Amino acid sequence: MTGAEVRNTVSLTDTDRGVSAAAGLLRAGELVAFPTETVYGLGADARDERAVARIFAAKGRPLHNPLIVHVSDLGAAQALAEVSPVADALARRFWPGPLTLVLPLRPGARLAERVTAGLGTVALRVPAHSLARRLLDAFGGPLAAPSANPSGRVSPTCRAHVLDGLGGRIAAVLDGGDCRVGVESTILGFQNGRPVLLRTGGLAAETLAEAFGIAALDTPEAEAAVTAPGQLASHYAPRARLRLEAREPGAGEAWLAFGPGPQGRGPGLNLSERGDLAEAAARLFGHLRALDALAAERGCATIAVAPVPETGLGRAINDRLRRAAAPRGE
């Protein structure tokens, strides 16, 4: 089995037949991409070592980078992890939704070892997308699912994005249209009993901090980078270079605008004309892909990006933009 496995990737529709076909493929150890409210996930049976190995092969994902496990409800989470009273309260308030909790793995959880990369913790979330929930119910078990894109590339927010990156490498994609949130889930862990924000995402950090009655959540210490091994600096990489915090596009640059700012003369797209951060998050990955293609077509080596406020969903947007702009080792 290699990442270069060539096959026909089937598109399944948002119907009972589509959902049951997807569940059947997953039971047979195959990979099925499915929509969540954040981004599309690349699903596999989280208890099946071989199926999980296929995720890493299809994505070209480093083996030390653990996967998020998707479950249907809090009860299913409790079967896999030690859910502390604090985590329980968060789950009751924010699940289903774009919050992933990193919790101690329960002995006897019987998850494939690669799911957790041997960390002793497991990342869990209950997705809010109705099709994801129907799939989890039909499958009847935990689904390991990273974002359904080749490792280091932009996450997919529709079926076409999934096929663009993984077509021919996975058995099927369940089509749920465009993702509503558009950036991945917020990841919260605990270090020495204190909550730590491991990744900004679709649940605003301010909302989480408020749930704890504190002004702001801690972020991991540099030496604790191992607790979020997927947070590689260069990620979400388009082909063009990104120039962040740009007031306006320079000559020969493509332009990713936010709000009613200046128009460029070259290719350009606006994350949100009215400066709405939720709209900008929902459009971010699609616009990055489309503008990258336009930039290549028009010979622009750089995409200039307008400043986005560092509040609410803006934090997740800026985090993804900074990773997309980071130097890469290719």
Binding site for ligand TXA (CB under 6 A): 36, 38-39, 41, 65-68, 100, 102, 116, 119, 121-123, 145-147, 184-185, 187, 189, 198-199, 227-231
Distance CA 320, CA 324 (A): 6
Strand order in 186-191's β-sheet? 10-12, 172-174, 32-35, 40-45, 143-144, 68-70, 121-125, 99-104, 186-191, 194-199
Shorter beta-carbon distance to ligand TXA: residue 134 or 249: 134
> Smallest distance, Å, CB 64 to ligand TXA?
9
Question: Which CA distances in Å does 190 have to 101, 200, 222, 301, 303?
Answer: 9, 15, 15, 41, 37
Distance CA 192, CA 217 (A): 14
> Smallest distance, Å, CB 66 to ligand TXA?
3
Residue 65 binds which entry of Mg ion, ligand TXA, none, CB below 5-8 Å type-dependent: ligand TXA
Residue 270 binds which entry of Mg ion, ligand TXA, none, CB below 5-8 Å type-dependent: none
Rg (CA), the chain: 19
> Smallest distance, Å, CB 146 to Mg ion?
5
Residue 157 binds which entry of Mg ion, ligand TXA, none, CB below 5-8 Å type-dependent: none
Distance CA 73, CA 308 (A): 34
> Smallest distance, Å, CB 154 to ligand TXA?
11
Shorter beta-carbon distance to Mg ion: residue 66 or 314: 66
Does 186 help bind Mg ion (rule: CB under 5 A)?
A: no
> Smallest distance, Å, CB 16 to ligand TXA?
23
Do the Cβ atoms of 318 and 270 come closer than 8 Å?
A: no
Distance CA 213, CA 235 (A): 32
Shorter beta-carbon distance to ligand TXA: residue 189 or 195: 189
- Angle between helical axes of 277-297 and 159-166 (0-180°, round to 10): 40
Instruction: Please report where in the chains the tokens 């990006």 appear, as a residue.
Output: 305
CA-closest candidate to residue 232, choices 167, 303, 112, 323: 323
Distance CA 39, CA 161 (A): 10
Residue 195 binds which entry of ligand TXA, Mg ion, none, CB below 5-8 Å type-dependent: none
Residue 272 binds which entry of Mg ion, ligand TXA, none, CB below 5-8 Å type-dependent: none
Residue 219 binds which entry of Mg ion, ligand TXA, none, CB below 5-8 Å type-dependent: none
> Smallest distance, Å, CB 267 to ligand TXA?
28
CA-closest candidate to residue 202, choices 102, 293, 290, 125: 125
Shorter beta-carbon distance to ligand TXA: residue 173 or 228: 228
**Cβ-closest position to ligand TXA:** 230
> Smallest distance, Å, CB 154 to Mg ion?
9
> Smallest distance, Å, CB 148 to ligand TXA?
7
Stretch that binds Mg ion, among 4-12, 15-23, 44-52, 139-147 (CB under 5 A): 139-147
Shorter beta-carbon distance to ligand TXA: residue 18 or 96: 96
**In this structure, are strands 172-174 and 68-70 parallel, antiparallel, or unpaired?**
unpaired
Interface residue with Mg ion among 100, 147, 185, 302 (CB under 5 A) is 147
Do the Cβ atoms of 145 and 44 come closer than 8 Å?
A: yes
Q: Which residues bind Mg ion (CB under 5 A)?
A: 147
